[in-house]
């Protein structure tokens, strides 16, 4: 829609203006730092940072209902800069002018209702929000759109040059970082550090295809993270891991979109996400809190974070009910089908602790829960979901396994509606499906395939008397014989009934 066609009361707000007063806030010592330079940790105490808009309260001059109207009308604008996560510009990076925003099609992923079979199976009504339908096929694109838009702003307006964007990754961060870097290729080069053999073939192919330098490191993600942190402390690089607080801002868009998709009535929802490095769950909570603060939503949804038994440090931390006695201990991870969340020492743990506290203060002790599931439950859940119309990856399976367990153990009100994060596209993790279908899991995974859940292609074989077109040019008669023989064999396999009067 053209700007002059918007109703007069929102016309002046549809196209946002750059504004706000953004600073890094340290979660350890509360110090504030300017954002002109990219910071990843506090120069004073070493703790992680979040980005804060000191001029936030100016946004309260607009009422909650008016904000809703603005966001809803923005949906109709065809401006590229407002077509992705920056529909919510004022909430996630309003200092970035629209012309610097990098938009590659991220955000506004669909929410897909569970069918009757799935509702029954999960024990609760739910929707999947398919973040696998982002450009690099995972939710990481939300945070990268934000981090790279800010980088683009620094390049265009502050004279920053020759940026090397670098990250460690369990697979999807590097795919997203390499994609966004390739778009800015004149000014940005990218390099990614991957744990050798611990990302899927598809996830390895993505940064290679985008032209990034791909460096494989013997070890797991946590080891790659230590190396990349050392690099960012000692060399001139732009760190694109979720330690980079701009990533968190962009990922808040996930919550804003849920609110918008449910007409801003989110009090009855339970939002479920897998936890790895814990950036996503941090952003989800931060997003809902911000909307609530501006009166855009009037109650907060519950939040459930899910971890595998094989990578469960956040779950273990919250097992202790007494806040003062909780102690964070990193864990050594074991092989997990939820490989993108296979992290024993989450970088965003201090952010989680802070936001869980804030969230529980606003919405009650029960409003945030961490659930633990087995590898078997993750794998089975993904396969059941995919057999019922979804494109969930293994981590999306983890979300489903988590809500199913919470429902079975009465840890969630079954009258609520759950929104499950399908964090990546199933195709990225096809290798795990393949292991399940071929009975190929190494024992460490602790996944035993169920016969009725397996599937395999069925190759037709032919007697010597029937020639096939593989390798030979068949004459018309031979070809007819081939078609008839094949059709009869398929009819037999599928138990097809002949049309009356035929055959
Ligand atoms: C990164 C990732 C996760 C984990 O998210 P965190 O923000 O690290 O907790 C889960 N699923 C997929 C598909 C991912 O790529
Ligand atoms: Zn500090």
Q: What is the pLDDT, as a whole number, of residue 472?
A: 80
In a domain, 258, yes or no: yes
Give the C-alpha separation, 464 to 462, whole Å. 7
- Domain end (from 416, 434, 453): 453
One domain, residues 127 and 224: no
In a domain, 241, yes or no: yes
Q: What is the pLDDT, as a whole number, of residue 262?
A: 98
Q: Distance from the CA of 26 to the center of ligand 2, in angstroms?
A: 5
- Domain end (from 245, 273, 299): 245
Query: Ligand 1 within 6 A of 109 CB?
Result: no
Query: Ligand 1 within 6 A of 393 CB?
Result: yes
Q: What is the pLDDT, as a whole number, of residue 216?
A: 97
Query: Residue 471 above 80 pLDDT?
Result: no
Of the chain, the percentage scoring pLDDT greater than 70 comes to 100
**In angstroms, how far is the first alpha carbon of the chain from the final one?**
58
Q: What is the pLDDT, as a whole number, of residue 182?
A: 97
In a domain, 50, yes or no: no
DSSP string covering 364-386, please?
Answer: -GGGEEEEEE-HHHHHHHHHHHH
**Residue to mutate, 128, 199, 277, 338, ligand 1, most ligand atoms under 8 Å from C-beta:** 277
Query: Ligand 1 within 6 A of 137 CB?
Result: no
* SS3 labels along 5-30: HCCHHHHHHHCCCCCCCEEEEECCCC
CATH number at residue 388: 3.40.50.1100
Query: Ligand 1 within 6 A of 280 CB?
Result: yes
Q: What is the pLDDT, as a whole number, of residue 501?
A: 73
Which candidate, 452, 14, 470, 52, places its Cα nearest to that of 252? Answer: 52
One domain, residues 262 and 346: yes
One domain, residues 237 and 363: no
**Residue to mutate, 225, 251, 310, 340, ligand 1, most ligand atoms under 8 Å from C-beta:** 340
Query: Ligand 1 within 6 A of 278 CB?
Result: yes
One domain, residues 120 and 180: no
One domain, residues 462 and 445: no
One domain, residues 475 and 397: no
In a domain, 336, yes or no: yes
Average of per-residue pLDDT across 105-129: 98
Which candidate, 220, 235, 243, 221, places its Cα nearest to that of 46? Answer: 243
Strand pairing category for 111-113 and 125-130: antiparallel
Query: Residue 486 above 90 pLDDT?
Result: yes
Average of per-residue pLDDT across 246-257: 98
- Residue ranges making up the domain that contains 487: 458-503
**What number does the ligand 1 atom closest to the CA of 273 have?**
10
Our measurement of the distance from residue 442's CA atom to the centroid of its chain's CA atoms, rounded to an integer in Å, reads 27
Our measurement of the distance from residue 19's CA atom to the centroid of its chain's CA atoms, rounded to an integer in Å, reads 28
Of the chain, the percentage scoring pLDDT greater than 90 comes to 97
Which candidate, 84, 92, 277, 88, places its Cα nearest to that of 183? Answer: 84
Distances (CA, A) of 10 to 20, 72, 84, 182: 20, 10, 19, 36
Q: Distance from the CA of 341 to the center of ligand 1, in angstroms?
A: 5
Average of per-residue pLDDT across 144-173: 96
Our measurement of the distance from residue 183's CA atom to the centroid of its chain's CA atoms, rounded to an integer in Å, reads 21
| Number of domains the chain is built from | 3
Q: What is the pLDDT, as a whole number, of residue 503?
A: 63
One domain, residues 403 and 435: yes
Query: Ligand 1 within 6 A of 269 CB?
Result: no
* Residues facing 306 on adjacent strands: 274, 371
Residue with the two structure tokens 């290679």? 208
Give the C-alpha separation, 358 to 250, whole Å. 20
Query: Ligand 1 within 6 A of 347 CB?
Result: no
The rounded mean pLDDT for the chain is 96
pLDDT digits (tens, 9 = 90+) for 163-218: 999 999 999 999 999 999 999 998 999 999 999 999 899 999 999 999 999 999 99
Query: Residue 464 above 80 pLDDT?
Result: yes
Dihedral of the alpha carbons of 206, 443, 393, 137, in degrees to the nearest 10: -10
Q: Distance from the CA of 376 to the center of ligand 2, in angstroms?
A: 41
Q: Which ligand is nearest to the CA of 346?
A: 1
Contact yes or no for 246/93 (Cβ under 8 A): yes
pTM, full prediction: 0.96
Q: What is the pLDDT, as a whole number, of residue 250?
A: 98
* Residues facing 163 on adjacent strands: 188
Which candidate, 356, 391, 362, places its Cα nearest to that of 299? Answer: 362
In a domain, 38, yes or no: no
Q: Distance from the CA of 335 to the center of ligand 1, in angstroms?
A: 16
Residue predicted with more confidence, 501 or 301: 301
Average of per-residue pLDDT across 472-500: 94
What are the E-state strand segments in 276-390? 302-308, 368-373
Indicate the length of the chain as a whole number: 503
Burial 39-73 (b: 16+ CB within 10 A, else e): bbbbeeeeebbbbebeebeebeebebeebbbbbeb
One domain, residues 312 and 208: no
Which candidate, 148, 217, 137, places its Cα nearest to that of 180? Answer: 148
In a domain, 99, yes or no: no
Q: Distance from the CA of 328 to the center of ligand 2, in angstroms?
A: 18
One domain, residues 416 and 327: yes
Q: Give the pLDDT band of residue 158 (cuts 50, 70, 90).
A: very high
**Residue to mutate, 170, 305, 346, ligand 1, most ligand atoms under 8 Å from C-beta:** 170
Query: Residue 139 above 80 pLDDT?
Result: yes
Query: Residue 500 above 90 pLDDT?
Result: no
Strand pairing category for 269-274 and 417-422: parallel
Give the C-alpha separation, 416 to 262, whole Å. 13
Which candidate, 37, 9, 42, 11, places its Cα nearest to that of 26? Answer: 42
One domain, residues 432 and 408: yes
In a domain, 84, yes or no: no
Query: Residue 399 above 90 pLDDT?
Result: yes
Q: Distance from the CA of 320 to the center of ligand 2, in angstroms?
A: 26
Average of per-residue pLDDT across 147-166: 96
One domain, residues 261 and 355: yes
One domain, residues 375 and 311: yes
- Domain end (from 227, 245, 263): 245
Average of per-residue pLDDT across 62-85: 97
Q: Distance from the CA of 474 to the center of ligand 1, in angstroms?
A: 52
For atom 15 of ligand 1, which residue has the closest CA?
172
What residues have CB less than 8 Å from 17, skipping those under 6 apart? none
Q: Distance from the CA of 22 to the center of ligand 2, in angstroms?
A: 17
In a domain, 342, yes or no: yes
């Amino acid at each position: 829609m053209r700007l002059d066609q918007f109703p007069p009361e929102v016309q002046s707000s549809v196209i946002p203006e750059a504004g706000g007063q953004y600073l890094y806030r340290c979660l350890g010592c509360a110090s504030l730092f300017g954002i002109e330079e990219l910071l990843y940790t506090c120069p004073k105490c070493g703790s992680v940072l979040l980005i804060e808009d000191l001029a936030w309260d100016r946004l309260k001059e607009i009422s909650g209902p008016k904000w809703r109207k603005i966001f809803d009308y923005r949906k109709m604008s065809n401006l590229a800069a407002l077509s992705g996560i920056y529909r919510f510009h004022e909430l996630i990076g309003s200092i970035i002018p629209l012309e610097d925003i990098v938009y590659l099609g991220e955000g506004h992923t669909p929410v897909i209702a569970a069918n009757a079979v799935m509702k029954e199976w999960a024990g609760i009504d739910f929707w999947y929000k398919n973040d696998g339908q982002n450009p690099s096929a995972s939710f990481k694109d939300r945070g990268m759109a934000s981090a790279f838009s800010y980088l683009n702003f620094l390049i265009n307006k502050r004279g920053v040059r020759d940026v090397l964007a670098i990250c460690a990754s369990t697979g999807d961060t590097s795919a997203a970082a390499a994609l966004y870097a390739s778009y800015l290729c004149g000014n940005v080069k990218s390099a990614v550090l991957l744990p050798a053999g611990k990302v899927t073939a598809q996830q390895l192919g993505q940064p290679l295809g985008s032209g990034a330098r791909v460096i494989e490191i013997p070890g797991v993600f946590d080891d790659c993270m230590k190396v990349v942190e050392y690099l960012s402390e000692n060399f001139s690089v732009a760190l694109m891991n979720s330690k980079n607080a701009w990533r968190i801002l962009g990922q808040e868009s996930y919550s804003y979109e849920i609110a918008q998709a449910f007409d801003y009535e989110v009090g009855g929802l339970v939002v479920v996400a897998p936890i790895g490095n814990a950036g996503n769950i941090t952003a989800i909570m931060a997003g809902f809190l911000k909307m609530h603060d501006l009166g855009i939503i009037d109650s907060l949804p519950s939040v459930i974070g899910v971890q595998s038994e094989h990578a469960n440090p956040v779950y273990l931390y919250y097992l202790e009910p007494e806040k003062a006695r909780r102690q964070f201990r990193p864990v050594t991870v074991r092989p997990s089908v939820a490989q993108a969340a296979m992290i024993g020492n989450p970088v965003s743990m201090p952010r989680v602790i802070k936001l869980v506290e804030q969230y529980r203060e606003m919405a009650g002790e029960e409003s945030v829960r961490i659930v633990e599931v087995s590898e078997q439950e993750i794998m089975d859940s993904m396969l059941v979901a995919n057999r019922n119309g979804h494109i969930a990856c293994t981590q999306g399976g983890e979300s489903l396994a988590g809500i199913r367990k919470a429902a079975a153990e009465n840890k969630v009100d079954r009258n609520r509606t759950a929104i499950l994060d399908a964090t990546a596209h199933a195709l990225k993790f096809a290798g795990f499906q393949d292991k399940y279908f071929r009975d190929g899991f190494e024992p460490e995974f602790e996944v035993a395939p169920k016969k009725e859940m397996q599937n395999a292609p069925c190759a037709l074989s032919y007697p010597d008397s029937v020639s096939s077109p593989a390798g030979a040019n068949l004459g018309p008669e031979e070809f007819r014989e081939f078609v008839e023989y094949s059709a009869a064999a398929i009819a037999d396999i599928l138990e097809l009934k002949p049309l009356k009067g035929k055959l």
